[in-house]
A and B are shown apart, each in its own frame.
Chain A
Amino acid sequence: ETGVTQSPTHLIKTRGQQVTLRCSSQSGHNTVSWYQQALGQGPQFIFQYYREEENGRGNFPPRFSGLQFPNYSSELNVNALELDDSALYLCASSNPTGFDYGYTFGSGTRLTVV
Chain B
Amino acid sequence: SQQGEEDPQALSIQEGENATMNCSYKTSINNLQWYRQNSGRGLVHLILIRSNEREKHSGRLRVTLDTSKKSSSLLITASRAADTASYFCATGSFGNEKLTFGTGTRLTIIP
Give chain A's interface residues, CB within 8 Å of chain B.
Answer: 4, 6, 33, 35, 39, 41-45, 48, 50, 55-56, 58-59, 88, 90, 92, 99-108, 110
Contact = CB atoms under 8 A, between A and B. Distances in A.
Chain B: number of interface residues, binned into ranges: 20 to 34
Contacts, number: 69
A42 B102 contact: yes
Main secondary structure of the interface of B (DSSP, over half): strand
A101 to B, nearest CB: 7
Contact of B88 (A42, A55, A101, A106): A42
Given A45-B98, A56-B96, A99-B31, A105 B103 contact: no
Nearest to B100: A45
Given A42-B2, A42-B104, A43-B88, A103 B99 contact: yes
Contacts of A59: 1
B110 interface: no
Interface of B: 1-2, 30-31, 33, 35, 40-45, 48, 50, 88, 90, 92, 96-104
A33 B48 CA distance: 18
B97 A42 contact: no
B88 A107 contact: no
Contacts of A90: 42-43
